Structure 1
């Protein structure tokens, strides 16, 4: 028994040693695929933190992106610059690209590599907000132009756009200086939207390596010394094992709810749920689901570049449509609400990036749904106005009755299960038939229709 325990302890110790060795010799692979947004940044940053905790020797960011949000890109760049582990940016597989925000991420990595048939560039920042019309500069503006304003590149229509481009230019220059890359081409990629193939990027010293695949990349990296946060680190990848950081449920969930269309739908479902709950208290389920949907939508919106004017117009438009349903104005409030709703939906996302726009069919679908609800509410209101009143005393007008008894010379009729005093210009007796003309409290004014 003692020998068995000793063997088990020895095996456990060996397992721990192997695990520790595999951690220090492991290479972590983190994918950056698709449009760069909050979910991509969260996945990459948490992966980098876990790689440090596992004492990984190297992290490879495999990039294939058309670009994305500036805020998310800067979060990724900050995480790369703050880590003590060598990070390699690798544009792969064949046919991939590191466009727009991907170019900045590649410049931020100590080592940049690309696979054949890939490209990078087109790093001009997309204008935020609604586009403006081009304006012709006045003589005074021409005199106040700076040397930076006269640099070649895409036409900049206003001061705000110039500031955005100048900021992006300085940013990519600082990243290029940090790792000894081609600054001039980085500026060209920002100002002129220039792009390069993998071979051209290697020739112009925009990247460091051209690798066919991961094995080729690891072979070329082996033995290289990298400067990471002031420390020289020799990369040893000869016996390294590749560990691919998986996309977990949190990243998947964040990716779903930060999709502008999903966040938009969640917000509207939440608002409609609360409206239904407030108009029909006691159901509970619509109110609870509505509150959950609104909280998720608000969480997504604080991560996305939204226009608060657009959000305000959507809420204001829905408020007008609800007001139309509860206090009908026969179309004025409803039509105004629909217009505000559509305009707010169109301008809700404060960016021109295609991947972060609300799809037009989604807007049309919810606008049509809201319009149908509005029409239904107006139809019910008109129908209610045309119907005969069925509550209160007014509905008794025109109803026939029969004198049931005389009480101290006061004629009484039995109507709808109750005894009523009646007033008539003609003398009445028991069993006389009458018709109700008016109501005055508990007394009915009637006219005699036939005799006894």
Structure 2
């Protein structure tokens, strides 16, 4: 047990290490390469914040942001752009792939832009979660941000605006009439949106007059790769759904098996990713654990909902505290709750209780097959003839097989002392018919048959 704990602790310390630094021989000035790759989201923001801080602490003379991204989320792009603007070291956006959407905006906030042949930058329209154009308010704010970024280094803002506004007509570059501006490396150089076009890092350093500089490259650690994945807004509701569903299904299953392991692992990944990204602290995990314990106390020792409400509040509060977006986490929690509720109902309907919940939920039933009856069924009286002791209108009392019983007439009025015949029995309800009427109906049927 101790050995396993030490291994787990060593693993956490290993994957929590800061960004790796790859050194190359050289002398003179120091250049830091920081990759800006994949989608622009809050995990990338956390990585760039640590990387820029590390470069400044080591006294770097220049920071090169190697950009290759299709874009991403506006809020993360805005925070990254501020990091680049506020850097104490000169920055160059080195576009080695595509700098589209949020990537173009980040590049515009660097001190200068250098591109490799065949690369592009632009197409920076704001879209909502469903893939449609954002509302006018968000679009206006985004255009203002692009304009400000272009003005930082005296670039013509018209081109930056055309990247996000299809109404701006620049036919010589394929913009306007429903198309957004996307500049190739040569076009960017022509309009002043790139200071140079180079083939590789060596030519870049030559352009920067840093040929003899020591090169140091920031690499995304394994922990940061996990953090970038699990902090993605689309991944968060999936993790929370797996986590809550796994733990709930574990209550239906005997022992601690696959559902519980999956649920616990998903929640651990959520908190670990946000911890590495810098959005959460250990206190959020402790708060979540306290909430889970209170919820279990409510399940096994009911307190009229007090512990349950406090536990759920603590768990949701810990998720909100660890998230970078209150709206996103609340939506994710609602999605997870809906998925868990539907799956739990289906699981109970088709599989039933077989785990810890079986000990606290009464599932026994009083079935007729087991000898349980709500009242005696007097079916042996069907067809017997008796006498009405009281007037039946329609209920009253009759004597049947020397037994005084409550009966109900078939619907008509029966006087006291008349012969009656039992025609049906349902539980304790005995329905009778006056014998004379019964005989008349029987004779009528015989005549009809003849």
Q: Calculate the TM-score normalised by the size of structure 2.
A: 0.55
Q: CA 1:39 to 1:83, structure 2 compared with 1: closer, same or farther past 3 Å?
A: same
Q: Write the distance in 1 (CA, Å) between the matches of 2:61 and 2:339.
A: 55
Q: Work out whether 1:174 is the aligned partner of 2:130.
A: no
Q: Write the distance in 1 (CA, Å) between the matches of 2:334 and 2:202.
A: 53
The answer for the alignment partner of 1:111 in structure 2 is 112
The answer for the alignment partner of 1:121 in structure 2 is 122
Q: CA 1:258 to 1:23, structure 2 compared with 1: closer, same or farther past 3 Å?
A: farther
Q: 1:129-278 alignment to 2 at 5 Å?
A: 161-192=135-166, 193-222=180-209, 237-259=210-232, 262-278=235-251
Q: Write the distance in 1 (CA, Å) between the matches of 2:128 and 2:27.
A: 43
The answer for the alignment partner of 1:367 in structure 2 is none
CA-CA distance at 1:173 after TM superposition? 1.0
CA-CA distance at 1:238 after TM superposition? 2.8
Q: Write the distance in 2 (CA, Å) between the matches of 1:280 and 1:35.
A: 39
CA-CA distance at 1:281 after TM superposition? 8.8
Number of paired residues?
A: 283
Determine helix, strand or coil for the equivalent of 2:31.
strand
Q: Work out whether 1:33 is the aligned partner of 2:6.
A: no
The answer for the alignment partner of 1:4 in structure 2 is none
C-alpha RMSD of matched pairs (Å): 3.8
Q: Deviations over 1:270-324 (max 9, x none)?
A: 21232144456985996686356336447768347737456425413532553x4
The answer for the alignment partner of 1:50 in structure 2 is 54
Q: Write the distance in 2 (CA, Å) between the matches of 1:163 and 1:269.
A: 35
Q: Deviations over 1:37-83 (max 9, x none)?
A: 12222222211110001101111001011101111111211111111
Q: CA 1:65 to 1:387, structure 2 compared with 1: closer, same or farther past 3 Å?
A: farther
Q: Which runs of 5+ in 1 are unaligned?
A: 1-18, 132-155, 223-236, 325-370, 396-452
Moved over 4 A (4+): 21-24, 128-131, 259-262, 277-289, 298-301, 383-390
The answer for the alignment partner of 1:70 in structure 2 is 74
Q: Write the distance in 2 (CA, Å) between the matches of 1:263 and 1:309.
A: 10
Determine helix, strand or coil for the equivalent of 1:306.
helix
Is the 1:23–1:55 Cα contact (8 Å) retained in structure 2? no
Q: Calculate the TM-score normalised by the size of structure 1.
A: 0.54
Q: Write the distance in 1 (CA, Å) between the matches of 2:119 and 2:205.
A: 18
Alignment match of 2:340 (pick from 318, 326, 342): 318
Q: CA 1:114 to 1:38, structure 2 compared with 1: closer, same or farther past 3 Å?
A: same
Is the 2:252–2:353 Cα contact (8 Å) retained in structure 1? no
The answer for the alignment partner of 2:102 in structure 1 is 101
Q: Write the distance in 2 (CA, Å) between the matches of 1:128 and 1:290.
A: 27
